[in-house]
């Protein structure tokens, strides 16, 4: 008689939140508790991990309020001790990594996941980290079956799902040429971010040369074919009359992440196959990606007033000039409120400030009503579509909502997702029900206008 093949034992936890004691981490715990052991939720067991068990226990207490905290295990794991991170990977199906700046602390976690086959999602917004991890660990992660997806927070899921939602509004033969996203942050109180994000942004600015160096050292990725001419550069400060906002280019991760998804899509026009996908899923995935129409994509930070945009530029100039040398960085880190004009604070925003903030992300697309006619290089777009995403505060409400929904999809539909690899969120979660899930959790997707442009 043949011996029955025994399956490897399932790890004790569905997911582990690493860095749960951090400012964002504790909001991620709060969001995760909403789905723990709820009927129909795939989340049956979680653990919190980090280097300081006392801080982790406090985070759990805070996240459980007004209830008493449930019995959730706390695991000790320190980024500086790779064996503790590898051990963590054997305890769970999935790690949600909230330990940043990722350029300083992220690599040991990605390395351990790629080696052990554990799945990994994070809330990183640092392009150089994401591209470096892709270069170093993509092959390894594909072999072991570890799905490593960075930027599963406000950076960069609204941008990714936002352009896909927008793209679907261009019904053939119409095609977009350029989609510009305008991000506007609103609040009745102050808009404040925690020091962790500020530190990550400054380290990004000060290491911009490393990203260029990394790109030069890699083979060029495929570029999508976009109908029509390259859009004109436009002014540094734009007054977008359509949506009543002033705007300036935002050097965030969003457009880089969208470009990575577009490059993967150009190389795989029907998306990436799932590890054990059903025939029904194959048709859904292929139909989804067939509807996507690539366009030139950029993101701008917007304000209702010109003064608001001048304030953004002032903070950008402080970071750009001072972030390049050690003394300048010391000043930026020592006086975050001063150099960010009050947008970042060492101890982060109050709960009330978090509750009262919201975001709107407008996608203004210009293109052609008949893509078959787009032959002349200097042809002007004759059609415009405006769509909008709207939701709660970006860093500590929207980011945990997105991260948790990505995690729940991963836990419930793993067989439909790629076997492994280091990938951007759009190419992994685009064809899933992530958009509907976000809509159920307070993030709206709307079509605002479709109109012909004057000749």
Nearest Cα neighbor of 272 from 57, 144, 416 is 416
Residues 144-173 that bind ligand NAP (CB under 6 A): 153-155
Nearer to ligand NAP, 146 or 156 (CB): 156
Residue 177 or 435: which CB sits closer to ligand NAP? Answer: 435
Please list every residue from 287 through 306 that binds ligand NAP, using CB under 6 A.
none
Give the shortest CB-41-to-ligand NAP separation in angstroms: 23
Cβ distance to ligand NAP smaller for residue 289 or 297: 297
CB of 351 to ligand NAP, least distance (A): 15
In whole angstroms, the minimum distance from the beta carbon of 56 to ligand NAP comes to 8
Residues 198-227 that bind ligand NAP (CB under 6 A): 200
**Distance of closest approach, residue 299 Cβ to ligand NAP, in angstroms:** 13
By CB under 6 A, tell whether 129 contacts ligand NAP. no
Nearer to ligand NAP, 91 or 369 (CB): 91
**Is residue 438 a contact partner of residue 405, using CB atoms and an 8 Å limit?**
yes
Of 46, 63, 75, 99, which lies in the binding site for ligand NAP, with binding defined by CB under 6 A? 99
CB of 153 to ligand NAP, least distance (A): 3
Site membership for ligand NAP, residue 123 (CB under 6 A): yes
Q: 18 to 47, contacts with ligand NAP by CB under 6 A?
A: 19, 21-25
Q: How many residues bind ligand NAP (CB under 6 A)?
A: 30
Residue nearest to ligand NAP (CB): 100
176 or 251: whose CB is closer to ligand NAP? 251
* Binding positions for ligand NAP, 371-430, rule CB under 6 A: 395, 399
- Is 105 one of the binding residues for ligand NAP (CB under 6 A)? yes
Nearer to ligand NAP, 128 or 274 (CB): 128
- Chain residues binding ligand NAP by CB under 6 A are 19, 21-25, 50-52, 55, 78-80, 98-102, 105, 123, 125, 153-155, 194, 196-197, 200, 395, 399
């Amino acid at each position: 008689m043949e011996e029955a093949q025994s399956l490897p034992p399932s790890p004790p936890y569905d997911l582990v939140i690493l860095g749960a004691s951090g400012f964002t981490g504790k909001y991620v715990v709060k969001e995760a508790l909403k789905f723990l052991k709820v009927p129909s939720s795939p989340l049956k067991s979680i653990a919190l991990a980090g280097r300081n068990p006392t801080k982790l226990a406090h985070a759990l207490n805070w996240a459980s309020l007004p209830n008493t905290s449930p019995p959730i295990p706390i695991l000790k794991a320190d980024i500086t001790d790779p064996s503790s991170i590898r051990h963590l990977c054997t305890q769970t199906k999935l790690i949600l990594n909230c330990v940043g700046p990722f350029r300083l602390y992220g690599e040991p976690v990605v390395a351990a996941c790629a080696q052990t086959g554990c799945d990994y999602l994070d809330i990183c917004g640092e392009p150089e980290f994401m591209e470096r991890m892709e270069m170093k660990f993509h092959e390894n992660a594909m072999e072991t079956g570890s799905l490593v997806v960075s930027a599963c927070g406000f950076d960069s899921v609204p941008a990714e799902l936002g352009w896909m939602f927008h793209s679907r509004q261009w019904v053939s033969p119409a095609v977009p040429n350029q989609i510009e996203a305008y991000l506007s942050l609103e609040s009745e109180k102050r808009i404040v971010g925690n020091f962790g994000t500020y530190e990550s942004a400054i380290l990004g600015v000060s290491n911009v040369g490393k990203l260029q160096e990394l790109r030069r050292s890699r083979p060029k990725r495929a570029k999508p074919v976009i109908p029509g001419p390259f859009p004109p550069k436009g002014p540094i400060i734009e007054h977008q009359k359509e949506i009543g906002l002033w705007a300036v280019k935002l050097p965030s991760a969003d457009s880089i992440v969208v470009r990575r998804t577009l490059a993967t899509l150009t190389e795989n026009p029907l998306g990436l196959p799932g590890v054990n996908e059903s025939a029904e899923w194959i048709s859904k995935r292929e139909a989804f990606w067939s509807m996507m129409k690539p366009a030139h994509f950029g993101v701008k930070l917007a304000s209702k007033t010109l003064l608001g945009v001048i304030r953004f530029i002032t903070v950008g100039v402080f970071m750009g000039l001072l972030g390049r040398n050690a003394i300048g960085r010391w000043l930026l880190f020592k006086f975050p409120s001063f150099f960010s004009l009050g947008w970042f604070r060492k101890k982060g925003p109050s709960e009330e400030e978090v509750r009262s903030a919201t975001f709107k992300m407008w996608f203004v697309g210009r293109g052609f009503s008949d893509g078959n006619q787009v032959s002349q290089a200097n042809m002007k777009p004759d059609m415009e579509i405006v769509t909008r995403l709207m939701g709660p505060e970006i860093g500590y409400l929207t980011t945990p909502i997105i991260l948790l929904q990505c995690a729940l999809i991963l836990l419930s539909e793993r067989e439909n997702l790629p076997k492994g690899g280091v990938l951007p969120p759009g190419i992994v979660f685009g064809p899933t029900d992530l958009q509907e899930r976000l809509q159920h959790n307070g993030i709206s997707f709307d079509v605002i206008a479709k109109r012909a442009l004057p000749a």
